[in-house]
Amino acid sequence: MLSRSLAYSYTVLAPLYDALVALPTRHVRQKSVQQLGDVSNKTILFMGIGSGLDIPYLATEGHYVGIDLTLAMLRRAQKQKEHYPAINLALHQGDVMQLPYQDNSFDEVVMHLILAVVPDPQAALSEASRVVKQGGRIIILDKFLSATRPAPIRRLISPLIGKIATRTDVVFEHLQYPKLEVIQNTPALARGWFRHIILQKNAI
């Protein structure tokens, strides 16, 4: 039910999304995508690709898959993709909490502003861990509360705006990621509310 509610909200927000989000996140998105490094012969999944704001920063040597729940956002991503014909990108509609991909399918997974949006961030992170290959990385850019910071206003408003656009009460350290090792966790934006986090999947 919450996924349906978000799909509806983002259908309504789609025409405004780029105007609201593109400029404030441009630099941190670019920096995050650069963490992919050499993408030659790699297949990379963008979970929650949205309107395609990451597309301009993709290197042409990689093979990319972008998935999003909302068709209206994917249509905007498709238009963005048309400006970069050299980029090999397939766009799929689907739920990041139940990915339609086999285990160990991707060399890298990118999660930009999605863990704090979905109703169940644990499910989304677990799915990312499932589909990334051994030794592969999950690159995250999102807003997270500090585990030691009260932040009463963000916690108070989260139940309401979480149904419309995004949650403001997600604590990354409260998520479970047993097969993943944190190799980077640094401030990105808004005095550390937004963070760059990189996880690596350990060999079993």
| Among 64, 50, 167, residue whose Cα is nearest residue 109 | 64
Residue 141 is part of which domain span? 2-201
Please report, rounded to a whole number, the percentage of residues in the chain having pLDDT higher than 70: 76
Rounded to a whole number, what is the largest CA-CA distance in the chain? 46
The pLDDT of residue 158 is above 50: no
The per-residue pLDDT for 15 is: 61
Distances (CA, A) of 30 to 58, 141, 163, 183, 186: 9, 11, 28, 19, 15
Residue range 45-64, pLDDT digits in tens:
999 999 999 999 999 999 99
Summarize the confidence of residues 79-106 as an average pLDDT: 97
Residue 16, pLDDT score: 61
Question: Above 90 in pLDDT, residue 7?
Answer: no
- 96 vs 4, residue with greater confidence: 96
Residue 189 has pLDDT above 70, yes or no: yes
- Average pLDDT for 139-156: 69
Number of domains in the chain: 1
1 pLDDT higher than 90: no
The model carries a pTM of: 0.83
With a cut of 70, say whether residue 119 has pLDDT above it.
yes
The span from the CA of 24 to the CA of 12, in Å, is 20
Contact 172, 144 (CB under 8 A): yes
CATH number for the domain including 33?
A: 3.40.50.150
Average pLDDT of every residue of the chain: 84
Instruction: Please give the structure tokens belonging to residue 202.
Output: 């350990």
Does residue 153 surpass a pLDDT of 70? no
Query: What string of DSSP letters covers 136-157?
Result: EEEEEEEE---TT---HHHHHH
